[in-house]
Every structure is written in structure tokens, then in C-alpha cells.
Amino acid sequence: MTPEKVVIAVNGKSFSNDRHGGAIRAALNIINGLNDIYGDRTKELEILIPSYKEIPHQLFESKSIRVKVFVSPLYANTYFKNFWEQFILPFYINRTKKYQLLLNLTNSAPVLIPLAIPQILLIHDIGFLNSQWFTHQFSTYLKTIVRVATQRNIYFTTVSQTSADRIQSSFPTIRSPEVIYNGCDKPPVNSIEHNCKFNYIVFIGSLNPRKNLEGLLASFFILKTRIESDLKLLIIGSHKEIFTSHDRNGERCDRKDIIFTDYIDNETKWSILADAKLLILPSFLEGFGLPILEAFSMGIPVVASDIPVFHELYEGAIEYVDPHSPEDIARGMQFVLGSRERQQVLIQNGYEILNKFSWSKTTQAYASIIDKILFFNAI
């Protein structure tokens, strides 16, 4: 029997990061959407985070979303955050007996101490299995978390069927993940500034080796030998301590036609995307690829990797290239840049694909799963 008011805890370990990548942006959209659905207040969300410094009030659209803080001076320490997640968070949840479910939206969950309540764990992709892309500590931590989670009362979700298949293959004992597609943020049309004075193509993403920055730079060098143009390459993204560092050599590139912006705010990102000639995303692996949807929404053609997830999600709206071949990446960019007809086909197909994705659909799917879990847990 469920209580009159259901309180859902949200694991806010990762919300301290003020440089929000795709996983955190997706989590915040899901939280805000669920809060809208629960407007009758029969269900409430409470964000549990490690320290005062990390209170993300400005990240949430409604003041009705409560934030519970566990104070610690070690807020910036990754190891402490892992300790907090595995020991302090479950201790608090088990002691208070206040919550009916724990929602984990950023790849990890408390699993070392069994909880008395069910959990949902969203795994965006399995890139963490490759220790060449992430530090050994980070990779080992997430491998352990997911492996142990398969033995707990945890329901799994992910963002594409491709990711679901890979998760199932890598962790055969896992409860089959439910696929819930991400949505797409709507561009702030009224605040977009068009003031760029040069032509450019753009990459958006973290500077993780799986994003194939080295291949991107090599392909851009090839492209510039083939076209007479002042075209520049803008690389929007930052490096994180959980990534391995061998791809950072590109940051020392002193060519004037390659610009590293580091992390930028959301409005600046949309303004840069609005004037781009194309978006280039030559990743080796992706769970979803949010920047592609953002490019579609701005009417920008996309050149991206010929990988299964992009065929699943964006078939017909991408110029596919082999991420292992800088020559082919350059070919794809040159073809799209030189063909107005191809650009129009990609842009039109991108607009049509956008109709498949919305945060409203995403949050409705999560609300349904939550209701189902609470129902069966109450029997």
C-alpha cells in the first residue's frame, strides 16, 4: 500500500558540475518534466546532494523541487562523492524511511548497501567499459556499480536500443533496460545573436577520446588542402578529470583556423550553432548524440559517424562517415559544404526526425515506469 504522498529521492551527486554535458542536461530536463507532471503534489521530488556548494537551485524551473544537502568541505573531491553515493546517501535513505523510490539519472547509483526502496538507474552508454577513454578509477567504479546493481532491486533505463543491446551484452544478468529516448531543448530564438564574422564548422562535445578529436583535427587538415576557403573549426567542449588525457594534444594546436572555446553557456552555444556551416560529430561511440538534435532544430546539416546508434535515431538526416578514417571524414564534410542540394535534404530530414523526440514524451515514459514500480512494490 503506497502512502498518501509519494516522495521520490533523486541522486544529485553529479549536479555539482557547472559544466553540464549531455547526461546532466538530460537529467535536469527529466526532473523538471516530472515535477510538472506531479503538479497535483501527490508525488514530490527531493534532490539529495553532497554539499552546500552544490545546491543547484538555478537549475530547476520550479521552487517546489526541494533540495536536501549533506554538508561536506570535500565537495570538489571525486572520491568523496563516490563515498557519499555508496555509504552516506543509502544510510540517510534507510534511516529516514521517507522515500518510496530513488531516481539515478547520471550513470551511477548506491549499490554497496542494499536499499529498502526500489531504484531506477539510467545508463546513457557503456563507454566506461573502455579504460582507454576514461581513467582506470572511473572506469572501474562504474563497472563495479553496474555489475552489483544487476543483483539489486534496480530498474534500468537507457537512451537508445543500441545502448540497451550493448548493456545487455556486457552484463548478461542485467534486468532488460527500458529504452526511453531523450528529448531536444528548444533554441531560445529571441536571444540568439548572429554576429560571427567568419565561416566555420562546429564540434560540440566533451574532449573525451571516444569523441575522436584526433581524427577530427586530421580530417580538417585534409579538408583545408582541398578547398579554397577561410573556413575555421570551432571545438566546443572541455576536458574532465575522469577522461584519459592522450587526446588533449589537440588543445595545443596553434593553427589560427582551429579554435578551442572550452565550455560555453547554453545561449552562446545556440548562437554559435546558428551560424555554423555544419555540425561534425565523428565519435567512436555515442549513447544518443544530443548535439545532433540541436543542429536539426537550428536547420544545420550534420556530418557524423557511421555507427549503429546514429542509424537507429537519425537515419536519412546525417552524412555518414567512417570515424576511423580522417580521409572519409574530410570527404563527408567537403561533400556537404559543396552541395546545397545535399544540405537541403539533410536539413529537411532533420526537421522531420525532430518530431520523434520531446522531453514531454521522455518524462511521461519515466512517470509511467515510476507508477508501475510503485504499484508492484506496494503489493
Q: What is the C-alpha separation between 279 and 200, in angstroms, rounded?
A: 10
Cross-sheet strand order for the sheet of 66-69: 66-69, 43-49, 6-11, 101-104, 119-122, 154-158, 178-179
Q: Are residues 194 and 276 in the same domain?
A: yes
Q: Are residues 172 and 202 in the same domain?
A: no
Q: Are residues 45 and 170 in the same domain?
A: yes
Question: pTM for the complete prediction?
Answer: 0.88
Q: Are residues 199 and 309 in the same domain?
A: yes
Q: Are residues 31 and 76 in the same domain?
A: yes
Q: Are residues 46 and 79 in the same domain?
A: yes
Q: Are residues 229 and 335 in the same domain?
A: yes
Range of the domain at 100: 6-183+358-378
Q: Are residues 55 and 130 in the same domain?
A: yes
Across 53-62, 91-100, 199-208, least confident range = 53-62
Helix, strand and coil in the chain, % to nearest 5: 45, 15, 40
How does residue 234 score in pLDDT terms, banded at 50, 70 and 90?
Answer: very high
Q: Which three cell numbers stand for residue 253?
A: 594546436
How does residue 249 score in pLDDT terms, banded at 50, 70 and 90?
Answer: very low
Q: What is the C-alpha separation between 40 and 13, in angstroms, rounded?
A: 27
Which pLDDT score is estimated for 309? Answer: 97
Which pLDDT score is estimated for 245? Answer: 47
Q: Are residues 307 and 364 in the same domain?
A: no
**Can you give the CATH number for the domain in which 200 is found?**
3.40.50.2000
Q: Are residues 103 and 218 in the same domain?
A: no
Q: What is the C-alpha separation between 217 and 237, in angstroms, rounded?
A: 14
Q: Confirm if 121 and 159 have CB atoms less than 8 A apart.
A: no
Q: Are residues 370 and 252 in the same domain?
A: no
- pLDDT tens, position by position, 220-232: 999 999 987 889 9
Q: Are residues 339 and 222 in the same domain?
A: yes
Average pLDDT (316-327) is: 98
Decide if 237 is inside a domain. yes
Q: Is the pLDDT of residue 308 over 60?
A: yes
Structural domains of the chain, count: 2
Q: Is the pLDDT of residue 336 over 60?
A: yes
Decide if 161 is inside a domain. yes
Q: Confirm if 143 and 128 have CB atoms less than 8 A apart.
A: yes
Relative orientation angle of helices 340-354 and 326-338, to the nearest 10 degrees: 100
